Chains A and B, each alone.
Chain A
Amino acid sequence: GDQVEQSPSALSLHEGTGSALRCNFTTTMRAVQWFRKNSRGSLINLFYLASGTKENGRLKSAFDSKERYSTLHIRDAQLEDSGTYFCAAEDGSSGNKLIFGIGTLLSVKP
């Protein structure tokens, strides 16, 4: 099965609200990255975590290698937050390759 299970696949939020995206891993991962794909198709780095939590503005991410999951919290969502979000986990036993989740399509509405 898939090593990185990302949920939800789609999420709709009203402006000013928040929610969380989650990635579960079937094996122990060394690190995780979160990206947002912008309207031009570019992957924008949001976070890199080897452990613990990081916060940047209205985004906060956590990674627990032992419990095999990572989350991305969005608060006070804005229209420009819309896009597709991906988590990608690093399987340290496979030469640092990133395994991507399926992505979450976030739509923020007025």
Chain B
Amino acid sequence: GALVYQYPRRTICKSGTSMRMECQAVGFQATSVAWYRQSPQKTFELIALSTVNSAIKYEQNFTQEKFPISHPNLSFSSMTVLNAYLEDRGLYLCGARDLGAAETLYFGSGTRLTVL
């Protein structure tokens, strides 16, 4: 079956430092990867949508300079939170799908970021 592995599950970083999270798609081709953040007391908010052979599209309030994303092949994507501050804490999720096959978006288990 289709699975998305996301790691690390939890991470703590000092204010002003950076952290990277990764997603691995298993059992399908991740032609499209979406990164979301759930901040405390909020719902999931799209950060950016990455489609193979297309430019990564960032949502309003999110930039490549702050959240650089790599999607080098059909099974892997990573996102870095640069210069993290308190407002960046929350649960980060990657969701992947094969646009040419099943429509369902499969999510990883998330990376919970705590900023000290």
B48-81 CB contact bits vs A (8 Å, 1 = yes)? 0101000001010000000000000000000000
Please name all residues of chain A whose beta carbon is closer than 8 Å to the beta carbon of B36 when the two chains form the complex: 100
Q: Does B26 contact A (CB under 8 A)?
A: no
Q: Are A103 and B43 in contact (CB under 8 A)?
A: yes
A48-B104, A97-B34 are contacts. A42–B49 as well, Cβ < 8 Å?
A: no
Chain A: interface secondary structure? Answer: strand
Q: Are B32 and A41 in contact (CB under 8 A)?
A: no
What residue of chain B has the Cβ atom nearest to residue A98's Cβ? B105
Kindly provide the distance from the CB of A91 to the nearest chain B CB, expressed in whole angstroms. Answer: 10
Kindly provide the distance from the CB of B19 to the nearest chain A CB, expressed in whole angstroms. Answer: 17
Please name all residues of chain A whose beta carbon is closer than 8 Å to the beta carbon of B51 when the two chains form the complex: 95
Q: Are A43 and B107 in contact (CB under 8 A)?
A: yes
Q: Are B49 and A97 in contact (CB under 8 A)?
A: yes
Question: Could you tell me which residues of chain A, from 21 to 43, have a CB within 8 Å of some CB in chain B?
Answer: 31, 33, 35, 40-43
Q: Are A101 and B103 in contact (CB under 8 A)?
A: no
Kindly provide the distance from the CB of B8 to the nearest chain A CB, expressed in whole angstroms. Answer: 13
Kindly provide the distance from the CB of A43 to the nearest chain B CB, expressed in whole angstroms. Answer: 4
A37-60 CB contact bits vs B (8 Å, 1 = yes)? 000111101001010000000000
A98-B46, A102-B43 are contacts. A50–B34 as well, Cβ < 8 Å?
A: no
Interface size bracket, B side: 20 to 34
Question: Could you tell me which residues of chain A, from 84 to 99, have a CB within 8 Å of some CB in chain B?
Answer: 86, 88, 95-99
A98-B46, A100-B43 are contacts. A42–B107 as well, Cβ < 8 Å?
A: yes
Q: A31, A35, A95: which contacts B103 (Cβ < 8 A)?
A: A31
Q: 29 A-B contacts, Cβ less than 8 Å apart?
A: A31-B103, A33-B104, A35-B107, A41-B91, A42-B108, A42-B110, A43-B93, A43-B107, A45-B104, A45-B106, A45-B107, A48-B102, A48-B103, A50-B103, A88-B44, A88-B105, A95-B49, A96-B49, A96-B97, A96-B99, A97-B34, A98-B46, A98-B95, A98-B105, A99-B46, A100-B36, A100-B43, A100-B45, A102-B43
Residues of A within 8 A of B (CB): 31, 33, 35, 40-43, 45, 48, 50, 86, 88, 95-103
